[in-house]
Amino acid sequence: MATRKISPSWSDVKSKLADFDRAGLLGLVQDLYAASKDNQTFLHARFGLGGDVLKPYKATIDRWLWPDVFKSQDTSVAKAKKAISDYKKAIGQPEGLAELMVFYCEQATGFSSDVGLDDESYYNALVRMFEQALKVVMGLPEGQRASFLDRLEDVRVMGHNLGWGVGDDFDDLWRRAGLGVDE
């Protein structure tokens, strides 16, 4: 009878880590740091190192939501959203999360407006992100909301110039968040 090989899990890794001393653990983290730019970004964000910890996440969002069409670059909603997910895993501060989500909405509407994009799935992802951004922003202390809401208001208005009912969806979400809509 053949035995099935089961994929290792976090429990397996955790039990191996228990055998490490401090120097061994630091060496492992150093190796992980050197292994990829994503690991470096994660650790910089987690420990608050460098100037703007949001900068690499914003660069990724910008690249995948507002590609250089003259270089035949594609869009990728999944890769842009992954930047937000990666930030959430690294540090997940609500204000930073709000900033990345609002930035996502700004980039997506800006690119769509700039190039006349006609992509239903891109727009559906934009509407979902607008909804998530509103929830995160409304969950912030009242004193931190204003600038984010101003920026989302600009996105909401710009959404009326896009296709697929984006502007109407934005208005509906805006109303549901308890914010007024000027017709």
- Domain ranges for the chain, please list them: 25-176
Distance from C-alpha of 151 to C-alpha of 144, rounded to nearest angstrom: 13
Say if CB 36 and CB 56 are below 8 A apart. no
Say if CB 129 and CB 81 are below 8 A apart. yes
pLDDT for the residue numbered 126: 96
Please give the biggest Cα pair distance in the chain.
Answer: 71
Say if CB 106 and CB 99 are below 8 A apart. no
Distance from C-alpha of 33 to C-alpha of 71, rounded to nearest angstrom: 31
- As a dihedral over the C-alpha atoms of residue 127, residue 132, residue 136, residue 142, rounded to 10 degrees, the angle is 40
CA 95 from centre of chain: 12
The letter for the amino acid at 47 is F
pLDDT for the residue numbered 121: 92
Q: Tokens at residue 12, please?
A: 């397996």
pLDDT for the residue numbered 16: 80
H or E element in which residue 144 lies? helix 142-158
pLDDT for the residue numbered 67: 92
Handedness of CA 109, 110, 116, 117 (dihedral sign): negative
pTM of the model: 0.84
Distance from C-alpha of 101 to C-alpha of 115, rounded to nearest angstrom: 21
Q: Write out the chain's pLDDT in tens, 183 residues.
A: 556 778 888 888 888 878 888 888 778 888 888 888 888 888 887 887 878 889 999 999 999 999 998 898 999 999 999 999 999 999 879 999 999 999 999 999 999 999 888 888 999 999 999 999 999 999 999 999 999 999 999 999 999 989 889 999 999 999 999 897 665
